Chain A
Amino acid sequence: AQTVTQSQPEMSVQEAETVTLSCTYDTSESDYYLFWYKQPPSRQMILVIRQEAYKQQNATENRFSVNFQKAAKSFSLKISDSQLGDAAMYFCAYRSWDNNDMRFGAGTRLTVKP
């Protein structure tokens, strides 16, 4: 079964600076999807960014971008110009392309200091 590992339980960043959250995964599949979700104190799960494994180009959504290294099975999230509203739990997730099996990492709690 696929596993997702987030090795940083907590991270801290100064407002307006850049932070990178790490995620690695283990799979034998060649086609799959990767996601980063944000979970603020409201507990709502909010999609931040997504990446299809067959795409070589790294996904970007405004201040959020990923570094997808397929051979290394690495999928890190970079947050630029960090804002106070970015403070939350961030979950990395893996989903097979042909079924509903979705696996999540344990999460990284991001604190943004003013």
Chain B
Amino acid sequence: NAGVTQTPKFQVLKTGQSMTLQCAQDMNHEYMSWYRQDPGMGLRLIHYSVGAGITDQGEVPNGYNVSRSTTEDFPLRLLSAAPSQTSVYFCASSFGDGLVLRQQYFGPGTRLTVT
């Protein structure tokens, strides 16, 4: 299994540009999430999905869109990039049934810089 993969690893955008961060997992996980990591603030949840066709907002959703058309993929879209979105972005996935301990598996991260 490849686990959770993210592309690209690095990206530089100009203010106002749009782009999509890709995330894929091959573990048949129901749950997928996007986090951003800023210095001194730990990880904060942006959006998450409990299955194909179902998404919901996390702690910091503004400026980001998501969709989940398949179990494997969960792309994150920035429609109009702003310097405040400069961060490291992590995708994560996990099983989500009942009381099973839901360990999240993280991707390697994407470092995004908006100038």
Which A positions have Cβ atoms within 8 angstroms of B?
1, 4, 6, 9, 33, 35, 37, 42-47, 50, 52, 91, 93, 95, 97, 100-107
B43 at the interface (CB under 8 A from A): yes
* Contact A100 to B31, CB < 8 A, known contacts A47-B103, A50-B101: yes
B contact residues vs A (CB 8 Å cutoff): 31, 33, 35, 40-45, 48, 50, 56, 58-59, 88, 90, 92, 94, 96, 99, 101-104, 106, 108-109, 111
Give A102 to B102 CA distance when docked, in angstroms: 11
CA distance A100 to B31 in the complex (A): 7
Q: Do the beta carbons of B42 and A104 come within 8 Å of each other?
A: yes
The minimal Cβ–Cβ distance linking A15 to chain B, given in whole angstroms, is 27
Could you name 21 residue pairs across A and B whose Cβ atoms are closer than 8 Å? A1-B59, A9-B40, A35-B104, A42-B108, A43-B108, A43-B109, A43-B111, A44-B108, A44-B109, A45-B43, A45-B92, A47-B103, A50-B101, A95-B102, A100-B31, A100-B45, A100-B50, A102-B43, A103-B59, A104-B44, A106-B42
